[in-house]
Structure 1
């Protein structure tokens, strides 16, 4: 049986997928799934340098308000993202924060809303290989509280609750979505629960902040599911992505100042 308190033997070494080694990354790494979001985050950093780009896994390291921060894209879905999480931890990551996209599962979660979940339904396609089904997927309290406090400081309203990390974007059965909505799950996406489980097992901190791109509750209310998503680069979404990045960076600064990294 695996003992996650023990080293894996790859610590500090050159990592096969992300192509990073010890010293390449900061203690805090922002881990968006979307490669296109990397540049948006990096534009808010100073003294940046590109570390690696391999298989869509892009890594930069820079500074925010004088504090070191790295950014690594993970790709879509728990299996791909879990590889990036593991390898980042191997080379020194102590805090992983995902900035991603979600769909709303409650009537009140609107496009452009920002979601910071305090737990996840584990349906990510990866975490079941690590732990039994009754093992929880929760963010680090330090990261969750820093993100929510940062949002309040910046005057940005957020949605909190339980998120569903699922594995089938184009599922056509309305009940697939409605069943979790009836259980008051607020949103869905594809990576967060794997992040929470792996980070906990490896002894590092993790959190997630997501921007709502569509409302799957409304889109699955009839006999067929509307699986469309409007232009993801429309102003409403772009503005919220900028807010999510600002909330995250402000939270990271807060964690450094409070010795939580």
Structure 2
């Protein structure tokens, strides 16, 4: 048995009242119930240029201010926000969005591929994340994995099937250390059933569970880590795929 006193990350405290609470720094306002968080900044930029977005708030930090937008999908109002890369920043952003009044979330962004034969742009629906990051341990008691909300997974699965969009339902590996994805670690995660690696899912799942809000995620398969050498596969330049995925997530958000 591990001695928890030796590892601060294992000292979970279930008290929901911290010294600084999200409501202390964010005022609740009139916002749509559902929000899409995307890591595809070029999609947000183009929607802004086309006049499809109205800024309704800002998530500030010392290094970057993230605009919070409202848009319409089939006549329904939906929030649209650019993601903060990494688990800790994502957790803080989600906390602020919840404190602002959003109640349901769909997240879409890219992920590295751990298995051969998965094309760029293929979608993965993560139902669970291996917790190889830090922030989730401050929200949920220690465990190897954390599940995505099953209700959110069902809605996403139903719509993907209805739209006849191929996808893989699988585990993902959330890590803080993008430059420490070694061959042995990748092999271990693959043996656990992970198909992708990214930096945020476990944090999103933990915060949403702790705050009792609905959140699901879709991962866009990007660079390939399954071979001897890393292959970027120019995944950042697949503009149409990324734009279509954001629109798909807006649709899903209206049906959560």
TM-score class normalised by the smaller sequence = 0.7 to 0.9
Aligned residues of 1:124 and 1:165 also touching (Cα < 8 A): yes
Unaligned runs of 5+ in 2: 1-12
SS at match of 2:146: coil
Write the distance in 2 (CA, Å) between the matches of 1:30 and 1:230: 26
Establish whether residue 2 from structure 1 lines up as the match of residue 5 from structure 2: no
Write the distance in 1 (CA, Å) between the matches of 2:17 and 2:119: 41
Establish whether residue 185 from structure 1 lines up as the match of residue 194 from structure 2: yes
Write the distance in 2 (CA, Å) between the matches of 1:249 and 1:72: 11
Q: Which has the higher strand share?
A: 2
Establish whether residue 201 from structure 1 lines up as the match of residue 227 from structure 2: no
- CA separation of 1:233 and 1:47: change in aligned 2, threshold 3 A: closer
Shift of 1:78: 0.3
Aligned residues of 2:36 and 2:81 also touching (Cα < 8 A): yes
Establish whether residue 25 from structure 1 lines up as the match of residue 26 from structure 2: no
- CA separation of 1:195 and 1:136: change in aligned 2, threshold 3 A: same
Write the distance in 2 (CA, Å) between the matches of 1:232 and 1:106: 16
TM-score by length of 2: 0.82
Q: Which has the higher helix share?
A: 2
Unaligned runs of 5+ in 1: 16-20, 256-261
Shift of 1:80: 0.8
SS at match of 2:194: coil
**How many equivalent pairs are there?**
240
Aligned residues of 1:150 and 1:247 also touching (Cα < 8 A): no
The residue correspondences of 1:1-261 to structure 2 (distance < 5 A) are: 1-4=13-16, 10-11=22-23, 15=26, 21-23=27-29, 25-39=31-45, 46=52, 48-52=54-58, 54=60, 55-134=64-143, 136-171=145-180, 173-218=182-227, 222=228, 226-234=229-237, 237-255=238-256
Write the distance in 2 (CA, Å) between the matches of 1:239 and 1:171: 31
Write the distance in 1 (CA, Å) between the matches of 2:162 and 2:243: 15
Write the distance in 2 (CA, Å) between the matches of 1:231 and 1:71: 25
| Structural RMSD (CA) | 2.7
Write the distance in 2 (CA, Å) between the matches of 1:44 and 1:140: 34
